[in-house]
Amino acid sequence: MTGYQEILTDPSYYGQIVTQTYPLIGNYGVNGIDAQSRKSWVRGYIVRELCEAPSNFRSEGVLGDFLQEQGVTGICGIDTRRLTRIIREQGVMNGAVTTEEIAANREQLLNRINAYTVAGAVEAVTIDKPCTVDAQSPKFKVVLLDVGFKRNILQSLLRRGCSVTVFPALTDPAEILATSPDGLMLSNGPGDPAENTRVIENLRALIKSGLPIFGICLGHQLLALASGAQTAKLKYGHRGANHPVKDLKHDRTYITSQNHGYAVLAATLDPAVGEISHVSMNDGTVEGIRYLNAPAFSVQFHPEASPGPLDSGYLFDEFLALMASSARERG
């Protein structure tokens, strides 16, 4: 199991403490390639055993040094599987990693823990201004709305011949449409999706424009909210690289990478607006929606993360096919 650097630099973990169930972390070091964003966004990091002497030909540094450089509080020597069992039974909860004397400050510390919330997450992680990355042999122009995007999403588009312009989360729809894009990608990101009222309102205008849209994770939730559905917080959330999801159209189950604490409520989706395309084989929650009122679809999991060889990368190909079909219809 690998991917700790990707987790640490995934904006979806903004404001959270991350605990790893795999017992040895840091064994292949860190490098400048695997980072998914410009910095680490986690507030704390908990591991069983920290490797301080990594061995890998790609290693450029030690995980402990990386955490210090990023200002992330880390702790090792913790029975992380026992901690995970507690979370599994009790649900996601607030916590703290501290060097304070707990017995003397117990009530004060508990009050601080109970009062902590993750708010304004998307505004905190989104880029400041638009930027464009051109593909070598461009076929399409794609706008990537940054509500906390991972670089693997950008790379997945570039590999398929899409030149990509990344826009800040709160960009006005008119500014996006003025670039005459072939499609819109809605990225993953952190926090409560319903909190992003301005982004949701902007998406309603973009849906009406007829622009082909593909949403991932938070992007999936925001698209559903903009289409009249509702979301709810999960007791545990879905985390990790081994979640089975069934594609209802192809009658096939894929192993997916997931990282989300909220889900779209199936009963709130208007059947005239969209249909459920993917479901979780673990708990039956919504994992994908295909829209009937617009050229748009979305998934809750991460097709860019490749938990298997290239399990769900076909969704990017479907996005390209949707843009090609839309281009033909426009003449």
- Catalytic center residues: 217, 302, 304
Tokens 């973990």 correspond to what residue?
13
**Residue 234, SS3?**
strand
Using an 8 Å Cβ cutoff, are 142 and 324 in contact?
no
Residue count (the chain)? 331
230 phi, psi to nearest 5 deg: -125, 160
CA 230, CA 215: separation in Å to the nearest integer?
16
Using an 8 Å Cβ cutoff, are 288 and 277 in contact?
yes
CA 162, CA 143: separation in Å to the nearest integer?
10
**Residue 52, SS3?**
coil
Q: How many other C-beta atoms are found inside a 10 Å radius of the C-beta of residue 247? A: 18
